[in-house]
Structure formats: C-alpha cells, structure tokens
Structure 1
Amino acid sequence: MTIVVKIGGAAAVDPEGALADVAALREEGREVVVVHGGSTAVDEALEQMDIEPTYVETPDGVVGRFTDEQTMDVFKMAMPGLVNTDIVAGLQNQGVNAVGLSGVDGQLLKGPRKSAVRVVEDGKKKIKRGDHSGTIEEVNGDLLRTLLDSDYTPVASVPMLGVESDGSFTPVNSDADRSAAAIAGELGSEGEDVDLVLLTDVSGIYEDPDDESTRIDRVDSPEDFEHLTEVAEGFMRRKTMAAQEGLQRGASRVVVATANADRPISNALAGNGTTITADALGEK
C-alpha cells in the first residue's frame, strides 16, 4: 500500500512530526510520496518584495490565490527552491532518502494553463485575467514508480507544467491538495491501494468551522459527501474538491487531519480525522 501525504504550508503547520512519521512508515515498509504546500513561504517572500498577495473567491465559494506573473516568479523561487529543499533535507536527517521534484521535472504534473479565472468581487461575478495557473490532467506515474521501486521517497511541489494553446509549456501554479489528489489517483489507477492524507492545521472538517467537537469523522455515502461539501468553507472547499478528484482518479480513501499530532499520518489513517471513502461517491 502506498501513502500520498500532503503537508500544508500554513504557518500553524509544524512539518517535523510528519517527516518523522514518514521515516517510521518507511521503516515499516510502506511507500510514501510527499506533496507539500508553501503558502506562508510565498507570502513572506512577496512581503519582502513589497508585493501584496491576492486571494480570490470563485462563484462556487472556493478561496484560492490569484497568481499573476510576479507572484509566479516568487513561486518558482520559494516552492522548489526553499520549501522543497528544506523538506528533503529534513527527511534526509530522518534517514529517508528523499528526492525533490517540481511538477515541471520529467513532466510530473501537466495540463492546460488557465490565463483567466471566474471570481466574485463585491458580490459580482467577474473574469480576472493574467492568471498563471493550470488544471492537472496528466501525472507521470512512471517517474514516481521508478523512484519508489528504487527505494527513494519523492517530494513533489508546484509549479506544474502548463500547456499553452500553441502546445508550448509554461510553469504555472496549481493547488497543492489537488496536486496530491492527482498523484494519489494516478498511483491508484492500476488497482493498487493508495491512501491520500491531507495534513492541515485543524483535526478535520467541522460542521461548525469554529467548533472542533463538530468534526465529521466519516463520509461513506453520496448523501454524506453532499453534506460535507455544504458545510466546508473557504480553504476546506479545496480539500473536498481534492478528495473527490483523488477518489475519482483511483485513490482508495482520503483523510483530512491535523499535522500537529504525534505521528500525524499514522494518526490520520487510524481514524483521527475526516475520512472520506470511495463509497462517498457511489463508486467502487
């Protein structure tokens, strides 16, 4: 069984426990692919350059970063350059032979570039142009499988490889949760059991975003999943989208859980989080 774990990039997420858990899981013989975010590192770099980060809300209520050309340049510096290198070094210190990859390397993550996005501003729907983001349609599973079979632990991040209308390539941004979902789905598409763990700064998805006691523990039916999408707000909407995409592509289950726990990946897989099964989509 393979585990794809996404380590969130928020300031409240401490990655050290997850890195130690990756090492423990590798000792137990589990294959692990790490995908990471880096929103805090990107925002700090933007601040140092006196560039104001821009977040937008889609008509569906999903909150995300708007990535213009300047912001994309910062992404290319901060994500594969700073965050990825630190995580790979942290895993090496734990005895894990990790290999850092961006979505551009070996065409790991590829899909059409989006140069404009639909947003809601002041209650009105608008088209915001100048975006540097993309939708992942292809994952180079052969590259990941080659690394895993050679006993390496891949550590992946954006940018992805955006395909322009003329067929040329441009590095563009993509959501880290959905990147992890695409990777998990690709590895699970041949019938292998693949668990996707989305680690964040809260213990799961809550009925009331301000009340941890309202955490939804399991989602096992289409009705449960519909309710989950109704109560998920802001950045949690991204995670429900990632869960759906990962399961549709081939992942076995998805768990949204806290990174700030003892052995957080193992803790999540033991049921301490919001677990979404393939039955939630009425499939498999």
Structure 2
Amino acid sequence: MSETGNAADDEPSAGESSAAEPPVVVKIGGAKAVDPAGAVGDVADLVDDGRDVVVVHGGSTVVDETIERLGMEPEYVESASGVTGRFTDADAMEAFTMAMAGKLNTELTALFREAGVDAVGLSGVDGGLLSGPRKSAVRVVEDGKRKIRRGEHSGTIESVNADLLSGLLADGYTPVVSPPMEGKESDGGVTPVNADADRAAAAVAGALDADLVLLTDVTGVYADPEDPGTLIESAATPDELAALEGAAEGFMGKKVMAAKEALSGGSGRVVVADANSEDPILAALGGAGTTIERSALEADDDGDDAEDTEAVDA
C-alpha cells in the first residue's frame, strides 16, 4: 500500500499505517440483529490512531424487505454443493441495488461521517472496485433434483481495484464498500450483479494484506452450533481449521469459506466476532471471537474450493 507523510515524522499521517499495524477490513453483517453502532465507534477510534480501515457491509434483511415492498417474494435456492443463497433475477437485482448501494451504503456512510470519520461510500461497480465474470445461470437442487436456473445476476470476484482503495486511504478517507460488483459479460459488457458480502470483504482484505474482522450476531464459531459455551477461540493449524469447518453450519460456513479466501489472498488473520459486544472490532483484534491464522492453511491451499458457492447473497 502507498504511504504519505514525511519519514521524519514520529506519528503516522491520516491514511498511513505503521509497518507493525496492517490495515483492517471490517465486514458489518446485514442481519437485523446486528447493531452497527459499536463498529462505527471503533472504526472512528482506529482511524484516529492512524490505522487504515476499509468497511464492507451486507444487507440481506433490508434486501428482502425491499423485494417484498415491491410486491415480490425473496427466493433462496440450494446449490449443488449444498450452499443456500439468494436467486437474483432481473427484478430482484433492481431491489438489491436499491437497498444495498442506494439505502444502506448511504445510511452507513452518514453514520461514519457523523462519528467524525471521513467516509466515502462505494459500490463494487465504482471504479471496477470488485470485478469478475457474471453468472447468468446457476446449478441448483430442487426437490432432490439438480437443475439449471437461468436469468441469474451474480458473480464471483476475481479482481479488486486495490489502487483505488489505497489512494483513498492515503488521502485520509475511509472507504465504505457494498455489493453489487461489476459483472463482466462474455461480449465485453458490464452488468451490476450480486456478490456475497463476506467474500467481498475477504477479497478486499486479501488485496490489501489486511486483517479481516467479520462481525455477525453471534460471538464466533461454536463446536456445537446450538451452544455458545462451545466457542472455538482459534484455529492456527490445518487440523484445527478442518475441525472449524466441520463445526460451521449454515451462514457460518460461508464465513469460514470467506476466511480461507482472505488468508489465501494475503490476509494475515481473520476474526469472526460479535457485532453487538462492547467495542466489537477492538475486542476482536484483541482476541475475542474466533481467530483464524494464516498458518491454518495447508502449504498448497490456493483457495480453489471457493467456487463452492454457486448462489450468493449479501
């Protein structure tokens, strides 16, 4: 990442991180149970301390509400590999863009600015920030049978415009990023498409060699998904990561998948933590939640299993 300021200065200038302090990418979950207030305060504190921060947010609940207000029903499908995600046809994509880039990104950016953070709201389409091929069809399982559903508007992120983010950070801004991403058509066209927000945060964290904090509405990954008392505090070896993957069910499975992608891409560590705890980001960076270290990856792990998600959601 680029840095600014005089090398003789004792303190880092705005947008400049100490060599001992990598950037932080924070993903704020989109569930209704997630209160962003604590994260907003922590980001303000980190930025005041000279730490580079990029925020990525989801918004599945508000997307569903927007779809329903438009007289439609949210549709979720199961992929051939057993992952459940949103099916985003053209009408759903319109609602998705309205909710994510229009409503949520603007409102969250306003919260950060109110807290004194010089935040800049961006969608993944802006400047080709998040880019990859569009998936116009997905393989799904319906009534036990594998089918192909066409008309999908989703994509897998293959590139991140890290220069755009680095330039904003160097100028003292805090990017607030949301899907949609830039979906590249086979004919060279560009279509805004849905992208999973956890995986978007992972892609950004990998591109910036940043620590990644995935904030959600539970305290981390549980060995018994029904028992918060079985929190898995860390995974630092391949065996520990395998156990973590085995325990992660439902939405948590996506977060562990995103964690592996981030680590494979260059992130030093990923923490899954409670958005509603006191000082949630600072607590996560200090050891709260479930921390997954880069050492947990196998030496030859290149993240190829990331394509497990054929249907995506924010």
TM-score bracket, normalised by the shorter chain, equals over 0.9
**Does structure 1 residue 240 correspond to structure 2 residue 261?**
no
| Amino acid of the structure 2 residue aligned with 1:240 | V
Partner of residue 191, structure 1: none
Q: Give 2:149's match in structure 1, choosing from 121, 128, 143.
A: 128
**Does structure 1 residue 44 correspond to structure 2 residue 65?**
yes
Query: How many Å separate the matches in 2 of 1:217 and 1:121?
Result: 37
Structure 2 stretches of 5 or more lacking a match? 1-21, 301-314
Tell me how large the CA RMSD over aligned residues is: 1.2
Query: How many Å separate the matches in 2 of 1:227 and 1:60?
Result: 19
Q: Give 1:280's match in structure 2, choosing from 283, 286, 296.
A: 296
Query: How many Å separate the matches in 2 of 1:11 and 1:96?
Result: 24
Query: How many Å separate the matches in 2 of 1:62 and 1:34?
Result: 25
Moved more, 266-275 or 154-163: 266-275
Residues 98-177 of structure 1: pairs in structure 2 closer than 5 A = 98-177=119-198
**Does structure 1 residue 31 correspond to structure 2 residue 47?**
no
Partner of residue 183, structure 1: 204
| DSSP 3-state at the match of 1:159 | strand
Per the TM alignment, residue 128 of structure 1 is displaced from its structure 2 partner at its CA by: 1.9
Residues 179-258 of structure 1: pairs in structure 2 closer than 5 A = 179-188=200-209, 194-258=210-274
Partner of residue 15, structure 1: 36
| 1:61 and 1:234 in contact (8 A); partners too | no
Query: How many Å separate the matches in 1 of 2:179 and 2:98?
Result: 11
Cα deviations across residues 9-28 of structure 1 (Å, max 9, x unaligned)?
00000011101110011112
Per the TM alignment, residue 57 of structure 1 is displaced from its structure 2 partner at its CA by: 2.0
Counting matched residue pairs gives: 279
| Amino acid of the structure 1 residue aligned with 2:256 | T
Partner of residue 79, structure 1: 100
| DSSP 3-state at the match of 2:202 | helix
Cα deviations across residues 180-227 of structure 1 (Å, max 9, x unaligned)?
000000111xxxxx1000000001111111110111110111111122
Query: How many Å separate the matches in 2 of 1:128 and 1:203?
Result: 36
| DSSP 3-state at the match of 2:33 | coil
| 1:61 and 1:233 in contact (8 A); partners too | no
Partner of residue 263, structure 1: 279
Cα deviations across residues 100-140 of structure 1 (Å, max 9, x unaligned)?
00000000000001111122222332222221000100100
**Does structure 1 residue 66 correspond to structure 2 residue 87?**
yes
Partner of residue 109, structure 2: 88
| Amino acid of the structure 1 residue aligned with 2:229 | S
Query: How many Å separate the matches in 2 of 1:131 and 1:106?
Result: 23
| DSSP 3-state at the match of 2:135 | strand
Cα deviations across residues 27-59 of structure 1 (Å, max 9, x unaligned)?
121110000001111111111112110112223
TM-score if structure 2 supplies the norm length?
A: 0.87
Query: How many Å separate the matches in 2 of 1:89 and 1:158?
Result: 18
TM-score if structure 1 supplies the norm length?
A: 0.96
Query: How many Å separate the matches in 1 of 2:163 and 2:229?
Result: 42
Per the TM alignment, residue 283 of structure 1 is displaced from its structure 2 partner at its CA by: 4.1
Structure 1 stretches of 5 or more lacking a match? 189-193
Cα deviations across residues 47-99 of structure 1 (Å, max 9, x unaligned)?
11121101122233322111111110011111111000011000011000000
| DSSP 3-state at the match of 2:246 | helix
| DSSP 3-state at the match of 2:136 | strand
| DSSP 3-state at the match of 1:25 | helix
| Amino acid of the structure 1 residue aligned with 2:121 | G
Percent identical among aligned pairs is 61
Higher Cα Rg, which structure: 2
| Amino acid of the structure 2 residue aligned with 1:234 | G
Query: How many Å separate the matches in 2 of 1:224 and 1:149?
Result: 37
